[in-house]
Amino acid sequence: MKFGVFDHLDHEGIPLDQLYANRLRLVEAYDRAGLYAYHLAEHHSTPLGCAASPSVFLAAVAQRTKTLRFGPLVYALPFYNPMRLIEEICMLDQMSGGRFQLGIGRGVSHYESEFYGIEFDQSQWMYHEAFQMILKGLASDELTFEGKFYRCHNVPMMLRPRQRPHPPLWYGIAVPESADWPAANDVNIVTLVPRAAVRAIVDRFCATRAKLGKCTDPMPLMGVTRHLVVAGTDAEAERIARRAYPRWRESFTWLWKKHGIDVDEKFPMIAGLYPPSWDDLQS
């Protein structure tokens, strides 16, 4: 079993320079403690995520850590020019000595997509196309790609990743049916669903690999994210959690509320995952 951190880098109500400095010191502590990896979420125009450009923050992480693996969870691919992202991935992997972890996804908020002029209905196809182009570019000396959204011809790939053919891949999953693609392509997965649903996802992931004759050694990593508070005593940890969790949830729901949407009423699945109070979350 490996332990890592998934970080939204949500706003704490303090000056941004102080927020970034504090979080980098915390990441240094993760490195000293021997944690496996640090994963950083990408969000835009919401207090849920102040690392709108994960690569910028992770470049600092690369220089401040020695053994900690790190990466976005996830890069929201429709928000990027794939050519530019290929180069950023290569730089971060080289700067860290091959510790970069590549999380990829579509982005979950149609509001955030609209802020960038991205049609959310198109973003799923943009994501798939960008992902194909990025993997091809990371493994090629020269890149030619012809798609609906992205295309290039005979572009020299001067930057290469340290880890070949590409850094380890990560993919977020919420339903068992989504486990088939990462299982078939040796992609690490992570989920935040309740325990019973985690079991269904893991079973589907393993069954798909067995059906395809995929060896179990090495097995891709299967991660589960949970809110965790560490303190000197249980009572102190609970006191901190009861204060901090509602503030995080306020950031999580802020963008929906700004558009007049009651998250608990409209999205019962989200309300189930992240109820209003810490005590509700523990029940």
Per-residue model confidence as pLDDT tens digits over 88-117: 999 999 999 999 999 999 998 999 999 999
User: For residues 174 and 193, is the Cβ–Cβ distance under 8 A?
Assistant: yes
User: pLDDT over 90 for what percent of the chain?
Assistant: 87
- Would you tell me which CATH number, out of the four given (3.10.100.10, 3.20.20.30, 3.40.190.10, 3.10.150.10), belongs to the domain 4-172? 3.20.20.30
What's the whole-number mean pLDDT along residues 47-67? 97
What's the whole-number mean pLDDT along residues 230-234? 95
Instruction: Give the model's pLDDT for residue 245.
Output: 93
Is 0.75 topped by the overall pTM?
Answer: yes
Convert the chain into a string of H (helix), E (strand) and C (coil): CCCEEEECCCCCCCCHHHHHHHHHHHHHHHHHHCCCEEEECCCCCCCCCCCCCHHHHHHHHHHHCCCCEEEECCEEHHHCCHHHHHHHHHHHHHHCCCCECEEEECCCCHHHHHHCCCCHHHHHHHHHHHHHHHHHHHCCCEEEEECCCCEEEEEECCCCCCCCCCCCEEEECCCHHHHHHHHHCCCEEEECCCHHHHHHHHHHHHHHHHHCCCCCCCCCCEEECCCCCCCCCHHHHHHHHHHHHHHHHHHHHHHHHHCCCCHHHHCHHHHHHCCCCHHHHHC
Per-residue model confidence as pLDDT tens digits over 152-170: 999 999 999 999 999 999 9
Instruction: Give the model's pLDDT for residue 283.
Output: 67
The mean predicted confidence, pLDDT, of the chain is 95
What's the whole-number mean pLDDT along residues 175-180? 94
Q: Where are the domains of the chain?
A: 4-172, 228-283
Facing residues of 146 across strands?
151
What's the whole-number mean pLDDT along residues 39-44? 97
Per-residue model confidence as pLDDT tens digits over 141-156: 999 999 999 999 999 9
